[in-house]
């Protein structure tokens, strides 16, 4: 039996290929320093784990969850946004509970778009955004993110045809892969552009609590009128090191939230209640663990910047996220340089071309190993003699 056209048209799963290549090197017994992953290396904070343990022991959590999630989690999400961003959220109408936000990016086009409609996607951008197009039988257009504009899209460069086709636009700040951040002025401009062209906005706020140099990332929903045309996706994966727990939520425009909830009513039968209760604990309790995690990533960032500059590898320090976006040396493609690092010095990085055509010429480095391993990695690269001080 043949796969459907939807499956045949899917892009290669970039991260699966990257993981396989790195795993092969590890299986060969090589000491690989893995900068290629986006998987937090720190454990989930103990108080969240304890909440999960207690919830698992309660027989009430062994039953089906309500289709649209526990009311306590929807309220916790709303309270979190009020506390962190001073944004008012209706827990009954403006929150959708998700088994990780990745699934939301695939569900929304299924819920809101029709064949012939288009997604506006950032380039470079999170590769899994692309999967939504063939699965929903829609098109997509790319918005170039350029270093000279702070990796923010220039809406004046979006063609008339692309604006006419687009029904949804995905954004992501702090940005994966570039580490760029956005401010309220940019989100204000985004809202105006979206309203003028009848485009819904979906802001991926996965790295919303990872900001450097004393600057906390701003929420899209803090801009006036944001809820008129858009939603924000928030995952607990990065803020609380809960990547494997698969829990997140969307907040914002009530109609878009209802679309998400409706499609999930037909796809799923809820999320394990114990996981939801652990998420409540994460959102409601002290955020000291989050502050400490942010400090850890900032120290790692500075170590990477200092070591790379020491050997002559200059790059713009990320303003947020736990990624850095480094230029490839002249004479290499991003894949060639990534393969060289893995083959010659056992260092895994993510080639920029995997994030779209606009990613060519760069590699993404994850700040997900300790400072000593960062130093060791750059020392290994120094021995290749590619960079000059």
For position 319, what pLDDT does the model report? 98
Torsions phi, psi of 170, nearest 5?
-105, 135
Q: What residues are paired with 122 via a beta bridge?
A: 143
CA–CA distance, 289 with 40 (Å, rounded to integer):
14
Same domain, 19 and 89: no
For position 334, what pLDDT does the model report? 96
- Which of 267, 284, 301 is the endpoint of a domain? 284
Same domain, 220 and 363: no
CA–CA distance, 151 with 320 (Å, rounded to integer):
12
Residue 127 placed within a domain: yes
Same domain, 261 and 309: no
- Which of 228, 263, 284 is the endpoint of a domain? 284
CB 360 within 8 A of CB 353: yes
Residue 245 placed within a domain: yes
Same domain, 220 and 244: yes
Residue 388 placed within a domain: no
CB 151 within 8 A of CB 178: yes
CB contact set of 309 (below 8 Å; sequence gap of 6+): none
CB 298 within 8 A of CB 327: no
Decide the pairing of beta strands 362-366 and 350-351. Answer: antiparallel
For position 18, what pLDDT does the model report? 81
Same domain, 31 and 89: no
Q: What residues are paired with 363 via a beta bridge?
A: 326, 351
Q: What residues are paired with 230 via a beta bridge?
A: 201
- Cβ burial 92-107 (10 Å sphere, 16+ → b, else e): eebbbbbbbbbbbbbb
For position 297, what pLDDT does the model report? 98
348 secondary structure, DSSP code: E
Same domain, 126 and 166: yes
Same domain, 312 and 355: yes
3-class SS of residue 301: helix
Same domain, 38 and 156: no
* Closest to 45 (Cα-Cα) out of 238, 270, 175: 238
For position 389, what pLDDT does the model report? 73
Same domain, 78 and 166: yes
Domain of residue 36, CATH code:
3.90.1150.10
CA–CA distance, 298 with 127 (Å, rounded to integer):
25
Per DSSP, the residues of 64-108 read PPPTT--HHHHHHHHHHHHHHH-----TTTSEEEESSHHHHHHHH
**pLDDT per residue rounded down to tens, the chain (389 residues):** 999 999 999 988 777 778 888 999 999 999 999 999 889 999 999 999 999 999 999 999 999 999 999 999 999 999 999 999 999 999 999 999 999 999 999 999 999 999 989 999 999 999 999 999 999 999 999 999 999 999 999 999 999 999 999 999 999 999 999 999 999 999 999 999 999 999 999 999 999 999 999 999 999 999 999 999 999 999 999 999 999 999 999 999 999 999 999 999 999 988 999 999 999 999 999 999 999 999 999 999 999 999 999 999 999 999 999 999 999 999 999 999 999 999 999 999 999 999 999 999 999 999 999 999 999 999 999 999 999 87
State how far the alpha carbon of 291 is from the alpha carbons of 198, 216, 286, 294, in Å: 38, 11, 10, 5
Structural domains of the chain, count: 2
Q: What residues are paired with 231 via a beta bridge?
A: 202, 252
Tokens, residue 231? 């939603």
Tokens, residue 301? 């960032």
Torsions phi, psi of 123, nearest 5?
-135, 110
CB 86 within 8 A of CB 222: yes
Per DSSP, the residues of 18-64 read HHHHHHHHHHTT---EE-S--S--SPPPHHHHHHHHHHHTSGGGGSP
Residue 49 placed within a domain: no
For position 67, what pLDDT does the model report? 92
Same domain, 176 and 296: no
Residue 322 is part of which domain span? 5-44+288-382
pTM of the complete model: 0.96
Residue 274 placed within a domain: yes
Domain of residue 224, CATH code:
3.40.640.10
CA–CA distance, 34 with 41 (Å, rounded to integer):
11
Same domain, 77 and 186: yes
State how far the alpha carbon of 210 is from the alpha carbons of 13, 175, 179, 273, 381, in Å: 26, 11, 10, 27, 27
For position 13, what pLDDT does the model report? 74
End-to-end CA distance of the chain: 58
Same domain, 173 and 242: yes
Decide the pairing of beta strands 362-366 and 323-327. Answer: antiparallel
CA–CA distance, 218 with 228 (Å, rounded to integer):
18
Residue 389 placed within a domain: no
């Amino acid at each position: 039996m043949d796969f459907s056209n939807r499956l045949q048209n899917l892009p290669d799963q970039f991260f699966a290929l990257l993981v396989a290549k790195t795993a092969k090197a590890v299986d060969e017994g090589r000491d690989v320093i893995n900068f290629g992953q986006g998987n937090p290396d720190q454990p989930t904070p103990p108080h969240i784990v304890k909440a999960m343990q207690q919830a698992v022991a309660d027989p009430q959590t062994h039953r089906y969850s309500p289709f649209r999630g526990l009311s306590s989690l929807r309220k916790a999400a709303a309270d979190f946004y009020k506390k962190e961003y001073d944004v008012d959220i209706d827990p009954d109408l403006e929150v959708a509970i998700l088994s990780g936000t990745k699934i939301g990016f695939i569900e929304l086009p299924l819920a809101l778009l029709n064949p012939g409609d288009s997604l506006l996607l950032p380039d470079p951008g999170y590769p899994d955004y692309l999967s939504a197009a063939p699965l929903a039988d829609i098109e997509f257009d790319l918005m170039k993110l350029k270093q000279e504009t702070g990796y923010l899209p220039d809406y004046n460069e979006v063609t008339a045809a692309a604006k006419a086709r687009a029904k949804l636009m995905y954004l992501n700040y702090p940005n994966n892969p570039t580490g760029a951040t956005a401010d309220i002025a940019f989100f204000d401009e985004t809202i105006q552009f979206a309203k003028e062209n009848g485009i819904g906005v979906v802001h991926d706020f996965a790295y919303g609590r990872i900001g450097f140099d004393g600057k906390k990332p701003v929420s899209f929903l803090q801009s006036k009128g944001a809820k008129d045309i858009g939603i924000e996706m928030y995952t607990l994966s990065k803020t609380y090191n809960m990547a494997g727990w698969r829990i997140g939520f969307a907040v914002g425009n009530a109609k878009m939230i209802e679309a998400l909830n409706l499609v999930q009513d037909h796809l799923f039968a809820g999320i394990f209640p114990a996981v939801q209760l652990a998420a409540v604990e994460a959102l409601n309790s002290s955020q000291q663990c989050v502050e400490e995690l942010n400090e850890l990533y900032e120290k790692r960032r500075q170590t990477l910047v200092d070591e790379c500059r020491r050997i002559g590898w200059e790059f713009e320090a990320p303003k947020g996220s736990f990624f850095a976006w480094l230029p490839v040396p002249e004479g290499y493609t991003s894949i060639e340089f990534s393969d060289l690092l893995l083959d010659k010095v056992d260092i895994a990085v993510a080639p920029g071309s995997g994030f779209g055509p606009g990613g060519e010429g760069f590699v993404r480095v994850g700040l997900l190993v300790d400072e000593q391993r960062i130093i060791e990695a750059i020392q290994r690269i120094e021995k290749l003699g590619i960079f000059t001080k």
